[in-house]
Amino acid sequence: MMNVSLPPRRLAVAPMLDWTDRHYRYMARQISRHTWLYTEMIHAGAIIHGDAERFLLKDDCEHPVALQLGGSEPADLARAARQVAAYGYDEINLNCGCPSPRVQKGAFGACLMNEVALVADCLNAMQDAAPDCAVTIKHRIGIDRQTDYQVLADFVGTLREKTACRTFIVHARNAWLEGLSPKENREIPPLKYDYVYRLKQAFPELEIIINGGITTNQQIAEHLQSVDGVMVGRECYHNPMVMRDWDRLFYGDSHAPIEYVDLVQRLQDYASAQLAAGRGTVLRHMVRHYLGLMHGLQGARVWRRMLSDATLLQNNQPHLIQQAWSAIQSIV
98 in catalytic set: yes
How many angstroms separate the CA atoms of 118 and 155, rounded?
12
What are the distances in angstroms from CA 279 to CA 59, 66, 273, 274? Answer: 14, 23, 11, 8
Q: Given phi > 0 = left and psi -120 to 50 = alpha, else beta, which region is 7? A: beta
- Torsion sign over Cα 143, 148, 152, 158: negative
Beta pairing partners, 207 = 167
How many CB atoms are located within 10 Å of the residue 67 CB?
Answer: 26
How many CB atoms are located within 10 Å of the residue 329 CB?
Answer: 10
Q: Tell me whether the omega of the peptide bond preceding residue 64 falls within 30 degrees of 0, making it cis.
A: yes
Beta pairing partners, 92 = 67, 135
Active-site pick, 61, 96, 98, 122? 98
Report the chain's C-alpha Rg in angstroms.
Answer: 20
Q: Are 140 and 113 in contact (CB under 8 A)?
A: yes
- What are the catalytic residues? 98
